[in-house]
Amino acid sequence: MERGCIACYESSHIMDNDQRVMQTMQKKYDESQYIRDISPITDLTLCMFGAVSILLAVLEIVFDSPQRLNIYINFIDACVFLPVFIFRKNISFYVRSAIIVIFPVLGILLTTLKTGIYGTSPIVFVGLITMVSIILPIKYTIAFTGFMHFLFGVLVVLVQNDLYVFSERYLSDLNDTVLWYPFFFASLSVNIIIISSVHFLKKKMVQNISCLENSNELLLQKEKELKYLAYYDTLTGLPKKSKFIEDLKQKEENGQLAEGYILHANIKQFRSINRLLGTVKADEILHGIARTISRRVQYPNMAARLIGDEFVFWVEGADPERVKQFAKVLYTPHPSEEILNSNNISINFHLSAALYSPGQGVSIEECIKNASLALPAARNLADKQIYFFKKEILRDVEHEMTLLHQLEIAISNYAFTLAYQKKIDLSTLEVVGVEALARWKDKDGNSVSPTIFIPIISRHNLMIPFSKMIFDLVLMDVQKIEEKYGSRTTVAINISPFFFLARDFPDFVKQKLDVFGISGEKIILEVTEDVYVEDITTLNQIIQQLKILGIRISLDDFGTGFSSLSYIGEIDLDELKIDKLFVQGIENEGKKREIIQSVCDIAKALNYKVVAEGVETQAQLEHLQQTPCDMVQGFYFDKPVPLDVS
């Protein structure tokens, strides 16, 4: 089964909208459909003719009519019409229609021979023509009308040649054909008008019905599409969160939902994969993963896509081991595996789960939320490990909300301080620059680690106002930095990629430099690999605007993601900062020394400076001095300290 087989449509099966409209409008309201719609009228006519025939026969008996033949004819009509009506489902439409026509024709002929144009035959004839026009196609109606007028003409000829004579005295005028010709042409004209009018109205009715049916079908198709778009993800074909919840609730209402786990899965470093491979291939990977999920997840388990690179699953059963076994599905090879293999990338997931017990006071939505709340803790686990929700997480969330409120106030009031860590020239061991690092205390005066408050700021979209505040604080300190470390000292400021890529960022920097009277040559902006989320052209345009101001650009935490080596030659950097992960253990691990040597060689070829972070021992320093590395920083020289600390 292809993508989205779990209780969902295959999105590729939805036809293109224009094509669907054309196909829908080509459908016709055909003759068979018309017959189905007109059949109730013929059936009603049969019943009515049968009932009227019986009634007329009874009345003639009651009033002792001398015309005994009429009694027999009416009884014969009734014996035909009523059985045909009773067994109508076993008799074809055309046979029923023929009976409706033939027997009244016989009655008209007998009445005409008996009373001429003075009897009821003209009225019955007009009524019969109208009925035939309604229930039969136009060609049969014309043929029938022509046949009836032919018989009428034959009678006129017979009367004219005295071959048929009306013997009753009150009918003697009918033996003069002068009366017959006007009636003949008047009848023909009236019937032509009736046939034309009925045909026109019937044609319009058929067109309107056809149009209504087409519109209705199109609306139904649109409704199906909208329902699909509302309930299913178009990229993966998997149900959306709303459909996932609705299906679980439906099962619960039907008493079919046992205990089970909500499993939340988030693809590790998918943003980096997206940047490295591009959105098209990244979407192919998501599509491939979804197809595997669709094939492997079997009822009563369920799956859905939340947003981006996040999926949610229902795993029935209260045993945590079942969840662990189920999670192996995510690591099953999928159709886009070749893309990953060719780029030396493997897919792993952050996994968190929360137990749902029907009727225990926790809604399905709350359980999904609990699994999501456990996801940050799952990021600290090893691959293929699952973090199970604990109630303590709710306390952590409450604590985060408390800190968030305080952080919002602190950002507005510039209630942060800065600590500066030295950047040391590796050849002279002199201070050539400092890096500004934010420090914050909560309302109780307790220091809060940046590893705690920075993620909170990032998660709650406060990074831009926070970055602007830090930028102001740093520029306020530039003069003090020069006084403490020398006039040639640069200041590195960490800028979030989101802020860096904002359209007005270069204008913001220029404005602040002008306000504080600071030269751009004093400032180094440190960004992480997340800046590559933007296209390279836009990124370089921003960098060039900043370089016009004299600002230098440093790529921080180099080597920790997928995309560094892919792009460092395409953007105009000034500096690479090797992450401390490569520095730690350099004295014992030859591979790390080789990596640092290679990075330095690449940087030199591109005319970039290289800074090694996290230097903590003399041995690490000595090994770095054997490489082309330009600068170092770390606790070996000094911890980050405020400017007023010597």
| Residue at 23 is within a domain | no
Over range 544-571, report the average pLDDT: 80
Here the CATH number for the domain that contains residue 425 is 3.20.20.450
Predicted local confidence at residue 377, as pLDDT: 87
Shared-domain flag, residues 513 and 595: yes
Lowest mean pLDDT among 109-123, 405-419, 518-532: 109-123
Over range 55-73, report the average pLDDT: 76
| Residue at 260 is within a domain | yes
Quickly state the pLDDT bin for 238 (edges 50, 70, 90): very high
Nearest to 354 by CA among 344, 343, 366: 366
Quickly state the pLDDT bin for 42 (edges 50, 70, 90): confident
Total domain count, the chain: 3
Nearest to 475 by CA among 432, 508, 429: 508
595 CB contacts (<8 Å, ≥6 apart)?
Answer: 559, 582
Shared-domain flag, residues 184 and 294: no
Predicted local confidence at residue 178, as pLDDT: 74
Is the separation of the CB atoms in 530 and 273 below 8 Å? no
What distance in Å separates the CA atoms of residue 256 and residue 259, rounded to the nearest whole number? Answer: 10
Shared-domain flag, residues 112 and 72: yes
Shared-domain flag, residues 188 and 305: no
What distance in Å separates the CA atoms of residue 583 and residue 636, rounded to the nearest whole number? Answer: 12
Shared-domain flag, residues 511 and 429: yes
| Residue at 13 is within a domain | no
Backbone φ and ψ for 575, nearest 5 degrees, come out as: -155, 145
The amino acid at residue 26 is Q
| Residue at 1 is within a domain | no
Of 390, 408, 443, which residue is a domain's last?
Answer: 390
Shared-domain flag, residues 448 and 586: yes
| Residue at 50 is within a domain | yes
Shared-domain flag, residues 434 and 346: no
Shared-domain flag, residues 352 and 480: no
Here the CATH number for the domain that contains residue 254 is 3.30.70.270
> pTM, whole model, 2 decimals?
0.62
Shared-domain flag, residues 370 and 287: yes
Is the separation of the CB atoms in 80 and 86 below 8 Å? no
Work out the widest C-alpha separation in the chain, in whole angstroms: 146
Is the separation of the CB atoms in 242 and 7 below 8 Å? no
Identify the helix (H) or strand (E) that includes residue 422.
Answer: strand 417-425
Of 160, 191, 210, which residue is a domain's last?
Answer: 210
| Residue at 177 is within a domain | yes
| Residue at 137 is within a domain | yes
Predicted local confidence at residue 170, as pLDDT: 64
Shared-domain flag, residues 82 and 179: yes
| Residue at 482 is within a domain | yes
Backbone φ and ψ for 553, nearest 5 degrees, come out as: -115, 130
Q: Which domain holds residue 68?
A: 31-210
Q: Report how far Cα 321 is from the mean position of its chain's Cα atoms.
A: 33
Lowest mean pLDDT among 168-182, 400-414, 600-614: 168-182
Predicted confidence (pLDDT) per residue in 506-523, tens digit: 999 999 999 999 999 999
Predicted confidence (pLDDT) per residue in 291-307, tens digit: 888 888 888 899 999 98
What distance in Å separates the CA atoms of residue 261 and residue 243, rounded to the nearest whole number? Answer: 17
Quickly state the pLDDT bin for 614 (edges 50, 70, 90): very high
Of 191, 210, 229, which residue is a domain's last?
Answer: 210
Shared-domain flag, residues 427 and 576: yes
Shared-domain flag, residues 430 and 326: no
CB atoms within 10 A of CB 561: 20
